[in-house]
Chains A and B, each alone.
Chain A
Amino acid sequence: MSSVGNEYPQSKVETPKRSEWPLWEVFIRGQHGMNHRHVGSLHAVDAEMAIKNARDVYTRRNEGVSIWVVEAHHIAASSPSDKGPFYEPAESKIYRHPTFFDIPDDVGAM
Protein backbone atom coordinates (compact mmCIF):
# COMPACT_ATOMS: atom_id res chain seq x y z
CA MET A 1 0.00 0.00 0.00
CA SER A 2 2.17 2.74 -1.10
CA SER A 3 1.73 6.01 -2.72
CA VAL A 4 3.96 6.35 -5.72
CA GLY A 5 6.58 8.99 -6.18
CA ASN A 6 10.09 9.90 -7.09
CA GLU A 7 11.07 10.36 -3.48
CA TYR A 8 9.72 6.94 -2.76
CA PRO A 9 11.99 5.31 -0.20
CA GLN A 10 14.08 3.29 -2.58
CA SER A 11 16.72 2.16 -0.15
CA LYS A 12 17.14 -0.98 -2.24
CA VAL A 13 17.79 0.82 -5.49
CA GLU A 14 20.71 2.91 -4.28
CA THR A 15 22.13 0.39 -1.84
CA PRO A 16 21.15 -3.12 -2.79
CA LYS A 17 20.78 -4.72 0.60
CA ARG A 18 21.26 -8.43 0.71
CA SER A 19 19.02 -9.66 -2.09
CA GLU A 20 15.69 -7.96 -1.59
CA TRP A 21 13.52 -8.24 -4.68
CA PRO A 22 12.51 -5.07 -6.53
CA LEU A 23 9.37 -3.23 -5.49
CA TRP A 24 6.43 -3.14 -7.92
CA GLU A 25 3.38 -0.92 -7.81
CA VAL A 26 0.14 -2.72 -8.62
CA PHE A 27 -2.83 -1.29 -10.55
CA ILE A 28 -6.08 -3.18 -10.93
CA ARG A 29 -9.09 -2.74 -13.17
CA GLY A 30 -11.95 -3.68 -10.90
CA GLN A 31 -14.61 -4.10 -13.54
CA HIS A 32 -14.84 -3.86 -17.30
CA GLY A 33 -15.12 -0.24 -18.34
CA MET A 34 -13.35 1.16 -15.27
CA ASN A 35 -9.86 2.64 -14.98
CA HIS A 36 -6.99 0.72 -13.47
CA ARG A 37 -6.47 1.97 -9.93
CA HIS A 38 -3.44 1.82 -7.72
CA VAL A 39 -4.04 -0.78 -4.99
CA GLY A 40 -0.64 -1.25 -3.39
CA SER A 41 2.75 -2.73 -3.96
CA LEU A 42 4.71 -5.93 -3.61
CA HIS A 43 8.14 -7.44 -4.20
CA ALA A 44 8.93 -9.74 -7.11
CA VAL A 45 11.96 -10.63 -9.22
CA ASP A 46 10.29 -9.86 -12.53
CA ALA A 47 7.05 -8.63 -14.09
CA GLU A 48 5.60 -12.09 -14.57
CA MET A 49 6.06 -12.97 -10.91
CA ALA A 50 4.77 -9.54 -9.88
CA ILE A 51 1.52 -10.16 -11.77
CA LYS A 52 1.09 -13.60 -10.24
CA ASN A 53 1.79 -12.27 -6.76
CA ALA A 54 -0.59 -9.37 -7.37
CA ARG A 55 -3.29 -11.85 -8.26
CA ASP A 56 -2.74 -13.68 -4.96
CA VAL A 57 -2.37 -10.60 -2.79
CA TYR A 58 -4.88 -8.17 -4.29
CA THR A 59 -7.57 -10.21 -6.08
CA ARG A 60 -8.48 -13.03 -3.70
CA ARG A 61 -12.16 -12.01 -3.92
CA ASN A 62 -12.58 -11.25 -7.62
CA GLU A 63 -11.48 -7.66 -7.20
CA GLY A 64 -10.00 -7.46 -10.66
CA VAL A 65 -10.33 -8.24 -14.35
CA SER A 66 -6.94 -6.85 -15.33
CA ILE A 67 -3.64 -6.18 -13.54
CA TRP A 68 -0.84 -3.76 -14.36
CA VAL A 69 2.46 -3.79 -12.54
CA VAL A 70 5.29 -1.32 -12.85
CA GLU A 71 8.60 -1.22 -11.04
CA ALA A 72 8.32 1.55 -8.45
CA HIS A 73 11.49 3.36 -9.58
CA HIS A 74 10.06 3.83 -13.07
CA ILE A 75 7.32 6.09 -11.75
CA ALA A 76 7.88 9.84 -11.91
CA ALA A 77 5.72 11.99 -9.68
CA SER A 78 5.05 15.62 -8.93
CA SER A 79 6.68 16.96 -5.81
CA PRO A 80 4.60 17.66 -2.71
CA SER A 81 6.26 21.06 -2.23
CA ASP A 82 4.76 22.12 -5.58
CA LYS A 83 1.30 21.49 -4.24
CA GLY A 84 0.25 25.15 -4.16
CA PRO A 85 1.95 26.81 -7.15
CA PHE A 86 1.80 23.76 -9.42
CA TYR A 87 -2.00 23.68 -9.40
CA GLU A 88 -2.56 27.42 -9.13
CA PRO A 89 -3.45 27.94 -12.83
CA ALA A 90 -6.53 25.77 -12.34
CA GLU A 91 -7.57 27.31 -9.06
CA SER A 92 -7.97 30.82 -10.47
CA LYS A 93 -10.20 29.75 -13.35
CA ILE A 94 -13.44 29.04 -11.59
CA TYR A 95 -15.36 29.81 -14.79
CA ARG A 96 -14.34 26.34 -15.97
CA HIS A 97 -17.06 24.96 -13.73
CA PRO A 98 -20.64 25.02 -15.02
CA THR A 99 -21.91 26.38 -11.69
CA PHE A 100 -20.11 29.66 -12.46
CA PHE A 101 -22.96 30.61 -14.79
CA ASP A 102 -26.47 31.45 -13.66
CA ILE A 103 -29.12 29.98 -15.88
CA PRO A 104 -32.65 31.35 -15.25
CA ASP A 105 -35.08 28.74 -13.96
CA ASP A 106 -37.38 29.47 -16.94
CA VAL A 107 -34.78 28.04 -19.29
CA GLY A 108 -35.11 24.62 -17.75
CA ALA A 109 -32.45 21.96 -17.37
CA MET A 110 -29.12 22.70 -19.02
Chain B
Amino acid sequence: MYAQMVKSEAADDSPEAISFQARIDAGEKIEPKDWMPAGYRKTLIRQIGQHAHSEIVGQLPEGNWITRAPTLERKAILLAKVQDEAGHGLYLYCAAETLGVSRDDLTEMLLDGRMKYSSIFNYPTLTWADMGAVGWLVDGAAIMNQVPLQRTSYGPYSRAMIRVCKEESFHQRKGFDIMRKMSNGTPAQKRMAQDALNRFWEPSLMMFGPSDKDSVHSAQSMAWKIKMNTNDELRQKFVDQTVPQADYLGLTVPDETLKWNDEKGGYDFAEPDWAEFYEVLKGNGPCNRERLAARNKAWDDGAWVRDGLSAYGQKRAARKVAAQ
Protein backbone atom coordinates (compact mmCIF):
# COMPACT_ATOMS: atom_id res chain seq x y z
CA MET B 1 0.00 0.00 0.00
CA TYR B 2 1.51 3.24 -1.09
CA ALA B 3 -0.78 5.35 1.08
CA GLN B 4 -0.50 4.64 4.79
CA MET B 5 -2.46 6.01 7.73
CA VAL B 6 -4.28 8.55 5.62
CA LYS B 7 -6.49 10.44 8.01
CA SER B 8 -10.05 10.49 6.75
CA GLU B 9 -12.30 13.48 7.24
CA ALA B 10 -15.78 13.00 8.63
CA ALA B 11 -18.84 12.99 6.42
CA ASP B 12 -21.58 15.54 6.94
CA ASP B 13 -25.29 14.92 6.84
CA SER B 14 -26.40 17.68 4.49
CA PRO B 15 -28.92 16.68 1.78
CA GLU B 16 -26.12 17.01 -0.80
CA ALA B 17 -23.91 14.66 1.18
CA ILE B 18 -26.70 12.11 1.43
CA SER B 19 -27.38 12.11 -2.30
CA PHE B 20 -23.62 12.03 -2.91
CA GLN B 21 -23.35 8.86 -0.81
CA ALA B 22 -26.29 7.39 -2.71
CA ARG B 23 -24.43 7.93 -5.99
CA ILE B 24 -21.39 6.14 -4.59
CA ASP B 25 -23.50 3.29 -3.26
CA ALA B 26 -25.03 2.94 -6.74
CA GLY B 27 -21.53 2.52 -8.17
CA GLU B 28 -21.43 5.86 -9.96
CA LYS B 29 -18.09 7.56 -10.48
CA ILE B 30 -17.54 11.03 -9.08
CA GLU B 31 -15.95 13.44 -11.55
CA PRO B 32 -13.98 16.63 -10.77
CA LYS B 33 -16.81 19.07 -11.48
CA ASP B 34 -19.40 17.13 -9.46
CA TRP B 35 -20.41 18.29 -6.02
CA MET B 36 -18.48 16.46 -3.30
CA PRO B 37 -18.23 16.82 0.47
CA ALA B 38 -15.22 18.84 1.59
CA GLY B 39 -14.06 15.85 3.64
CA TYR B 40 -14.08 13.57 0.59
CA ARG B 41 -12.02 16.08 -1.36
CA LYS B 42 -9.51 16.60 1.46
CA THR B 43 -9.07 12.92 2.20
CA LEU B 44 -8.56 12.14 -1.48
CA ILE B 45 -5.96 14.89 -1.87
CA ARG B 46 -4.07 13.41 1.08
CA GLN B 47 -4.32 9.87 -0.21
CA ILE B 48 -3.59 10.49 -3.90
CA GLY B 49 -0.86 12.96 -2.98
CA GLN B 50 0.83 10.47 -0.69
CA HIS B 51 0.48 7.79 -3.34
CA ALA B 52 2.08 10.08 -5.95
CA HIS B 53 4.93 11.00 -3.61
CA SER B 54 5.57 7.30 -2.99
CA GLU B 55 5.97 6.68 -6.71
CA ILE B 56 8.44 9.55 -7.01
CA VAL B 57 10.50 8.76 -3.89
CA GLY B 58 10.23 5.08 -4.84
CA GLN B 59 12.55 5.78 -7.75
CA LEU B 60 15.45 6.40 -5.39
CA PRO B 61 16.11 2.93 -3.93
CA GLU B 62 16.17 1.39 -7.39
CA GLY B 63 17.86 4.33 -9.09
CA ASN B 64 20.70 3.45 -6.73
CA TRP B 65 21.48 0.34 -8.81
CA ILE B 66 21.08 1.61 -12.38
CA THR B 67 24.79 2.27 -12.83
CA ARG B 68 25.73 -1.04 -11.22
CA ALA B 69 23.32 -3.47 -12.88
CA PRO B 70 25.14 -6.71 -13.76
CA THR B 71 24.40 -6.62 -17.51
CA LEU B 72 23.41 -4.02 -20.06
CA GLU B 73 20.04 -5.73 -20.49
CA ARG B 74 19.34 -5.69 -16.74
CA LYS B 75 20.33 -2.03 -16.70
CA ALA B 76 17.97 -1.13 -19.55
CA ILE B 77 15.13 -3.01 -17.84
CA LEU B 78 15.75 -1.34 -14.49
CA LEU B 79 15.87 2.05 -16.18
CA ALA B 80 12.50 1.37 -17.83
CA LYS B 81 11.06 0.31 -14.50
CA VAL B 82 12.25 3.44 -12.72
CA GLN B 83 10.91 5.54 -15.60
CA ASP B 84 7.53 3.85 -15.13
CA GLU B 85 7.53 4.93 -11.49
CA ALA B 86 8.03 8.53 -12.59
CA GLY B 87 5.10 8.08 -14.97
CA HIS B 88 2.93 6.65 -12.19
CA GLY B 89 3.74 9.64 -10.04
CA LEU B 90 2.68 11.95 -12.87
CA TYR B 91 -0.65 10.15 -13.47
CA LEU B 92 -1.40 10.47 -9.78
CA TYR B 93 -0.37 14.12 -9.45
CA CYS B 94 -2.71 14.89 -12.37
CA ALA B 95 -5.54 13.09 -10.56
CA ALA B 96 -4.84 15.04 -7.36
CA GLU B 97 -4.77 18.32 -9.29
CA THR B 98 -8.34 17.77 -10.49
CA LEU B 99 -9.34 18.19 -6.83
CA GLY B 100 -8.05 21.76 -6.79
CA VAL B 101 -4.59 21.38 -5.32
CA SER B 102 -1.63 22.64 -7.35
CA ARG B 103 1.33 20.52 -8.36
CA ASP B 104 3.74 22.96 -6.76
CA ASP B 105 1.85 22.83 -3.47
CA LEU B 106 2.01 19.04 -3.43
CA THR B 107 5.71 19.09 -4.22
CA GLU B 108 6.35 21.65 -1.51
CA MET B 109 4.49 19.57 1.06
CA LEU B 110 6.57 16.51 0.18
CA LEU B 111 9.83 18.45 0.33
CA ASP B 112 9.16 20.07 3.70
CA GLY B 113 7.83 16.85 5.21
CA ARG B 114 4.20 17.90 5.67
CA MET B 115 3.10 15.07 3.38
CA LYS B 116 4.38 11.52 3.67
CA TYR B 117 5.35 8.80 1.25
CA SER B 118 5.28 5.06 1.91
CA SER B 119 7.49 3.87 4.77
CA ILE B 120 9.00 1.16 2.55
CA PHE B 121 11.18 3.60 0.62
CA ASN B 122 13.10 4.53 3.74
CA TYR B 123 14.92 1.22 3.64
CA PRO B 124 18.26 0.90 1.85
CA THR B 125 18.93 -1.29 -1.21
CA LEU B 126 22.23 -2.89 -0.30
CA THR B 127 22.77 -5.54 -2.98
CA TRP B 128 21.58 -6.37 -6.49
CA ALA B 129 19.27 -8.98 -4.97
CA ASP B 130 17.35 -6.08 -3.41
CA MET B 131 16.29 -5.10 -6.95
CA GLY B 132 14.66 -8.50 -7.07
CA ALA B 133 13.08 -8.24 -3.64
CA VAL B 134 11.75 -4.74 -4.28
CA GLY B 135 10.06 -5.75 -7.52
CA TRP B 136 8.72 -9.02 -6.20
CA LEU B 137 7.64 -7.94 -2.70
CA VAL B 138 7.23 -4.16 -2.75
CA ASP B 139 5.59 -3.95 -6.16
CA GLY B 140 3.69 -7.11 -5.29
CA ALA B 141 2.27 -5.45 -2.18
CA ALA B 142 1.51 -2.30 -4.15
CA ILE B 143 -0.43 -4.32 -6.73
CA MET B 144 -2.50 -5.90 -3.92
CA ASN B 145 -3.65 -2.42 -2.97
CA GLN B 146 -3.89 -0.88 -6.42
CA VAL B 147 -5.94 -3.54 -8.15
CA PRO B 148 -9.04 -2.94 -6.00
CA LEU B 149 -8.46 0.82 -6.22
CA GLN B 150 -9.22 0.61 -9.94
CA ARG B 151 -12.85 0.51 -8.74
CA THR B 152 -12.51 3.54 -6.48
CA SER B 153 -15.33 6.11 -6.62
CA TYR B 154 -13.25 9.04 -7.85
CA GLY B 155 -13.05 8.86 -11.66
CA PRO B 156 -9.60 10.39 -12.24
CA TYR B 157 -8.07 8.26 -9.45
CA SER B 158 -9.68 5.13 -10.80
CA ARG B 159 -8.42 5.82 -14.32
CA ALA B 160 -4.90 6.53 -13.01
CA MET B 161 -4.99 3.21 -11.15
CA ILE B 162 -6.05 1.34 -14.28
CA ARG B 163 -3.03 2.69 -16.15
CA VAL B 164 -0.73 1.98 -13.21
CA CYS B 165 -1.94 -1.60 -12.82
CA LYS B 166 -1.41 -2.31 -16.50
CA GLU B 167 2.25 -1.43 -16.08
CA GLU B 168 2.87 -2.71 -12.57
CA SER B 169 2.79 -6.40 -13.33
CA PHE B 170 5.93 -5.99 -15.45
CA HIS B 171 7.62 -4.68 -12.30
CA GLN B 172 6.69 -7.63 -10.14
CA ARG B 173 7.64 -10.20 -12.76
CA LYS B 174 10.92 -8.43 -13.37
CA GLY B 175 11.67 -8.61 -9.64
CA PHE B 176 10.72 -12.27 -9.42
CA ASP B 177 12.93 -12.99 -12.42
CA ILE B 178 15.94 -11.51 -10.61
CA MET B 179 15.11 -13.53 -7.47
CA ARG B 180 14.77 -16.71 -9.54
CA LYS B 181 18.08 -16.15 -11.27
CA MET B 182 19.87 -15.55 -7.98
CA SER B 183 18.13 -18.37 -6.10
CA ASN B 184 19.33 -20.76 -8.76
CA GLY B 185 22.77 -19.21 -8.94
CA THR B 186 25.94 -19.73 -6.92
CA PRO B 187 25.66 -20.29 -3.16
CA ALA B 188 26.76 -16.69 -2.65
CA GLN B 189 23.99 -15.44 -4.95
CA LYS B 190 21.43 -17.57 -3.19
CA ARG B 191 22.57 -16.14 0.15
CA MET B 192 22.11 -12.65 -1.24
CA ALA B 193 18.57 -13.51 -2.38
CA GLN B 194 17.72 -14.92 1.06
CA ASP B 195 19.24 -11.89 2.75
CA ALA B 196 17.16 -9.55 0.58
CA LEU B 197 13.99 -11.46 1.47
CA ASN B 198 14.95 -11.34 5.15
CA ARG B 199 15.34 -7.59 5.09
CA PHE B 200 12.31 -6.75 2.94
CA TRP B 201 9.73 -9.15 4.37
CA GLU B 202 8.63 -7.17 7.41
CA PRO B 203 8.84 -3.73 5.78
CA SER B 204 6.65 -5.14 2.97
CA LEU B 205 4.03 -6.29 5.49
CA MET B 206 4.16 -2.80 7.02
CA MET B 207 3.28 -1.26 3.67
CA PHE B 208 -0.39 -2.12 4.29
CA GLY B 209 -0.38 -0.11 7.53
CA PRO B 210 -1.44 -1.24 11.00
CA SER B 211 -4.70 -3.04 11.54
CA ASP B 212 -7.58 -0.68 10.88
CA LYS B 213 -10.57 -2.95 11.20
CA ASP B 214 -11.91 -0.90 14.11
CA SER B 215 -10.90 2.49 12.75
CA VAL B 216 -13.61 5.11 12.25
CA HIS B 217 -11.49 6.89 9.64
CA SER B 218 -11.07 3.74 7.69
CA ALA B 219 -14.82 3.03 7.80
CA GLN B 220 -15.54 6.47 6.33
CA SER B 221 -12.99 6.00 3.55
CA MET B 222 -14.53 2.64 2.77
CA ALA B 223 -18.03 4.12 2.64
CA TRP B 224 -16.69 6.68 0.17
CA LYS B 225 -14.99 3.87 -1.77
CA ILE B 226 -11.60 5.50 -1.66
CA LYS B 227 -10.38 2.55 0.35
CA MET B 228 -11.67 -0.80 -0.83
CA ASN B 229 -10.34 -3.30 1.72
CA THR B 230 -9.06 -3.22 5.27
CA ASN B 231 -5.31 -3.27 5.78
CA ASP B 232 -5.52 -6.72 7.36
CA GLU B 233 -7.41 -8.18 4.40
CA LEU B 234 -4.82 -6.96 1.95
CA ARG B 235 -1.91 -8.07 4.13
CA GLN B 236 -3.38 -11.56 4.44
CA LYS B 237 -3.87 -11.76 0.69
CA PHE B 238 -0.29 -10.67 0.13
CA VAL B 239 1.11 -13.29 2.50
CA ASP B 240 -1.04 -16.05 0.99
CA GLN B 241 0.16 -15.15 -2.47
CA THR B 242 3.82 -14.66 -1.63
CA VAL B 243 4.66 -17.64 0.60
CA PRO B 244 4.21 -20.26 -2.18
CA GLN B 245 6.35 -18.08 -4.46
CA ALA B 246 9.11 -18.05 -1.84
CA ASP B 247 8.80 -21.85 -1.62
CA TYR B 248 9.19 -22.06 -5.37
CA LEU B 249 12.37 -20.01 -5.14
CA GLY B 250 13.66 -22.28 -2.39
CA LEU B 251 13.87 -19.32 -0.01
CA THR B 252 12.66 -19.19 3.56
CA VAL B 253 10.22 -16.55 4.72
CA PRO B 254 11.82 -15.07 7.86
CA ASP B 255 8.93 -15.89 10.17
CA GLU B 256 9.15 -18.92 12.45
CA THR B 257 5.48 -18.72 13.31
CA LEU B 258 4.38 -18.89 9.67
CA LYS B 259 1.89 -21.73 9.32
CA TRP B 260 -0.95 -22.68 7.00
CA ASN B 261 -4.31 -22.39 8.75
CA ASP B 262 -6.85 -24.70 7.14
CA GLU B 263 -9.75 -23.16 8.97
CA LYS B 264 -9.29 -19.66 7.62
CA GLY B 265 -7.81 -20.85 4.33
CA GLY B 266 -4.74 -18.69 4.75
CA TYR B 267 -1.43 -18.45 6.55
CA ASP B 268 -0.98 -17.43 10.16
CA PHE B 269 1.96 -15.08 10.35
CA ALA B 270 3.75 -12.79 12.76
CA GLU B 271 2.90 -9.10 12.85
CA PRO B 272 5.78 -6.90 11.81
CA ASP B 273 7.42 -4.66 14.39
CA TRP B 274 4.96 -1.77 14.56
CA ALA B 275 7.23 0.25 16.86
CA GLU B 276 9.74 0.31 14.01
CA PHE B 277 6.98 1.32 11.57
CA TYR B 278 6.03 4.34 13.68
CA GLU B 279 9.66 5.34 14.02
CA VAL B 280 10.06 5.23 10.23
CA LEU B 281 6.90 7.34 9.80
CA LYS B 282 8.30 9.85 12.27
CA GLY B 283 11.33 10.25 10.07
CA ASN B 284 13.72 7.96 11.89
CA GLY B 285 14.03 5.11 9.39
CA PRO B 286 17.40 4.12 7.97
CA CYS B 287 17.09 6.38 4.90
CA ASN B 288 14.44 9.04 5.64
CA ARG B 289 16.90 11.90 5.72
CA GLU B 290 18.78 10.70 2.67
CA ARG B 291 15.57 10.32 0.62
CA LEU B 292 14.19 13.75 1.46
CA ALA B 293 17.59 15.35 0.96
CA ALA B 294 17.81 13.73 -2.49
CA ARG B 295 14.34 15.03 -3.47
CA ASN B 296 15.15 18.51 -2.18
CA LYS B 297 18.45 18.56 -4.03
CA ALA B 298 16.81 17.44 -7.27
CA TRP B 299 14.16 20.15 -6.91
CA ASP B 300 16.69 22.88 -6.09
CA ASP B 301 19.18 21.84 -8.75
CA GLY B 302 16.40 21.76 -11.32
CA ALA B 303 15.17 25.27 -10.56
CA TRP B 304 17.22 26.90 -13.32
CA VAL B 305 15.85 24.41 -15.86
CA ARG B 306 12.25 25.13 -14.84
CA ASP B 307 12.85 28.87 -14.86
CA GLY B 308 14.67 28.74 -18.19
CA LEU B 309 11.86 26.80 -19.82
CA SER B 310 9.25 29.13 -18.35
CA ALA B 311 11.11 32.12 -19.80
CA TYR B 312 11.34 30.34 -23.14
CA GLY B 313 7.62 29.59 -23.10
CA GLN B 314 6.76 33.20 -22.29
CA LYS B 315 9.05 34.49 -25.03
CA ARG B 316 7.48 32.19 -27.60
CA ALA B 317 3.98 33.16 -26.51
CA ALA B 318 4.85 36.86 -26.74
CA ARG B 319 6.31 36.39 -30.20
CA LYS B 320 3.16 34.57 -31.31
CA VAL B 321 0.99 37.45 -30.09
CA ALA B 322 3.23 39.97 -31.85
CA ALA B 323 2.97 38.03 -35.12
CA GLN B 324 -0.84 37.99 -35.05
Contacts and interface: CB of A to CB of B under 8 A. Distances in A.
Closest 8 CB pairs of A and B: A45-B313, A9-B100, A1-B160, A2-B98, A1-B156, A1-B95, A5-B33, A19-B310
Given A3-B98, A57-B90, A80-B31, A18 B156 contact: no
B34 interface: yes
Contacts of A1: 91-92, 94-95, 98, 156-157, 159-160, 163
A9 B310 contact: no
A23 B100 CA distance: 13
Given A9-B99, A56-B87, A57-B91, 16 more contacts: A1-B94, A1-B160, A3-B32, A7-B32, A8-B32, A9-B100, A17-B104, A17-B105, A21-B313, A23-B97, A39-B163, A40-B91, A40-B163, A49-B313, A56-B83, A60-B84
Interface string B140-161: 0000000000000001110110
B317 interface: yes
18 contacts: A1-B91, A2-B156, A5-B33, A17-B102, A17-B105, A19-B307, A23-B97, A40-B159, A40-B160, A42-B90, A42-B94, A45-B310, A45-B313, A45-B316, A57-B87, A57-B90, A57-B91, A77-B33
Interface size class of B (residues with CB under 8 A): 35 or more
B104 A7 contact: no
Contacts of A60: 80, 83-84, 87, 167
Given A9-B32, A40-B94, A42-B94, A3 B155 contact: yes
A49 B87 contact: no
Interface of B: 31-35, 80, 83-84, 87, 90-92, 94-95, 97-105, 155-157, 159-160, 163, 167, 306-307, 309-310, 312-314, 316-317
Nearest to B91: A1
A99 interface: no
Contacts of B98: 1-3, 8-9
Contacts of B91: 1, 40, 57
A12 interface: yes
B317 to A, nearest CB: 7
A58 to B, nearest CB: 8
A49 B309 contact: yes
Chain B facing A: main interface SS: helix
Interface string A7-33: 111011000011111110000000000
Given A8-B98, A20-B104, A40-B91, A3 B309 contact: no
Interface of A: 1-3, 5, 7-9, 11-12, 17-23, 39-43, 45-46, 49, 56-57, 60-61, 77, 79-80
A79 B309 CA distance: 34
B31 A46 contact: no
A45 B33 contact: no
Contacts of B167: 60-61
A8 B34 CA distance: 11
Given A12-B102, A21-B310, A3 B33 contact: yes
